[in-house]
Structure 1
Amino acid sequence: MAQAFLMMMMIATSSINFAEAFKEEGGMGGVIHVGGKVLCQDCSQGWNEWVHGAKPIKGCKVSITCMDERKRVIYYGSDQTDEAGDYEMTLNKYINGGKELDPNKCSVRLVSSPDPVCNIATDFASGRSGVKLRRPTVVYRDFIKHVLSPFYYTTPMCDEPDAATTTTHSSSSSYAKQTKY
């Protein structure tokens, strides 16, 4: 009976040590999960299809960039979407020899789309400019996950030109023409 008790104590102690080591080495306690979906919106459809009929894109690249206090990149990672348009990135909370990563200084954005028709990144849900990680969506014990709103690509025919860029460009070229004389 004493041997069984001693064996149980050894197993319990080794389990606790394993769990602590796992946590310190970037296990569940040291990991941040980021996930979401990438869809294609086609503006050539009717309004209802455009809003509710977005289709997932397989193979889109989505990236995450994390900065430090001095606004230097300390982490960059990316993932590609699956058949359902879903991506899932996992990053260690502790990098560079134990320095803790601040998720509030991380930004997720669209990078590229393999779809030859639907390949213009939109800024719906800040997909083109990047969305900052704020509050986690799921927190359960040591599990932390940020589930982001869907990002969207669209077709070139749906892309609206940026009026500020066009105005700036045309005014600078007219300025160049005036300075030649």
Structure 2
Amino acid sequence: MGAVGLMLMVAVSFLIGSINVIEAWKEEAAGAGVIHVGGKVLCQDCTLGWNEWVHGAKPIKGCKVSITCMDDRSRVVYYGSDDTDEAGNFEMIINKYINGKVLKPTNCFLRLVSSPDPVCNIVTDFSGGRRGVKLGRPTMVYRDMIKHVLGPFYYTTPMCDQPDTGNQSDDGKGTNY
């Protein structure tokens, strides 16, 4: 196999390396190196009539929404958060490459953290805001951008909060306090 075979192997390995670099550059240039996540946070007041309750939710400025991404061994590899704007919208852009490894959107989940509104600050589980929502398929693919749009998520007033009565134990003697 001599010098010609050795040169042929070097040329092939250089060509394969160049193709990988070119493909990675194309992916980065196309915006595929980031994950876009967005949505909306609203206040829903149960004391209003049905029509106002369903269609009259108001945006909350300054709500904190977080995203947590795990690796395949269920370890946290990324945590980030964003505050909502005047229209209740949040937008997060996450680097798809963390510590040299590809971040899988399906291993990420988003949840509500806090509301600055003194009246509307009880987190609800409408659209999964309390327990968290896993990212699935992107909801928007347009040119160079792939985006996951979630929600809307809702907070409500303390008057609308229903107590959790499902985890109480009863000893049958009426002595539970």
TM-score normalised by the chain length of structure 1:
0.78
SS at match of 1:125: helix
**Residue among 85, 90, 97 paired with 1:82:** 85
| Sequence identity percentage | 71
**Residue among 108, 112, 115 paired with 1:113:** 115
Alignment of 1:1-181 (within 5 A): 20=25, 23=28, 28-96=31-99, 98-165=100-167, 167-168=168-169, 171=170
d(CA) in 1 for partners of 2:161, 2:27: 47
SS at match of 1:163: coil
Quote the residue 1:7 is aligned against.
Answer: none
CA offsets 1:49-79 (integer angstroms, 9 cap, x no match):
1111000000000000001111111100000
Aligned length: 155
Residue type at the aligned position of 2:87: A
Quote the residue 1:5 is aligned against.
Answer: none
d(CA) in 2 for partners of 1:22, 1:106: 21
Root-mean-square deviation (CA, aligned residues, Å) is 2.6
The answer to whether the 8 Å contact 2:38/2:148 transfers is: yes
SS at match of 1:28: coil
Question: Structure 1: any 5+ residue segments left out of the alignment?
Answer: 1-16
Q: Which structure shows the bigger proportion of residues in helix conformation?
A: 1
SS at match of 1:151: strand
d(CA) in 1 for partners of 2:137, 2:119: 34
TM-score normalised by the chain length of structure 2:
0.80
Which consecutive segments of 4 or more residues in structure 1 shift more than 4 A? none
Quote the residue 2:16 is aligned against.
Answer: none
d(CA) in 2 for partners of 1:21, 1:125: 35
